[in-house]
Amino acid sequence: MTARTGKKARADQPDTGFKGIQEVAGQLGVTQRTLRFYEDKGLIEPHRVGTTRVYSRREIGRIQLVLRGKRLGFSIREIKEFLDLYDVDPNHVEQMSRLVTRIEQRLEDLEQQRIALDETVSELRQIRNEALARLGKD
């Protein structure tokens, strides 16, 4: 049995630490198409065994970072920039500096969206109350 899958390892297939696209997609809750899209955009570089994509722990970690970045509202371009900086800056100083700048921009955008949403909710409540009052008078 392998520690990773709980399945018996076949003698002709040693445990390499790599996972196939179907297994990774299931593990991360994304589609195989999503993984191929991330590959096309240069965010990940799975290894190939023939025509089969296989993913190392590093690639799975990168996918998790991509998914987190998307969840936080960063664009594919911004996420690629962060990942590329990670690879070229061993101390991660430039990456962290740019990350802080982008986070501050994102927070400012979200605060503006919150203000706009609060105003919209308030206006909708006012319109609803006026409409209900008119219905009661007619």
Three-state DSSP string of the chain: CCCCCCCCCCCCCCCCCCEEHHHHHHHHCCCHHHHHHHHHCCCCCCEEECCEEEECHHHHHHHHHHHHHHHCCCCHHHHHHHHHHHHHCCCCHHHHHHHHHHHHHHHHHHHHHHHHHHHHHHHHHHHHHHHHHHHHHC
pTM for the predicted model, two decimal places: 0.70
In this prediction, residues 6-11 reach a mean pLDDT of 44
> Is the pLDDT confidence value at 10 over 60?
no
Percentage of the chain beyond pLDDT 70 is 88
Residue pLDDT, tens place only, 87-134: 777 787 888 888 899 999 999 999 999 999 999 999 999 999 999 999
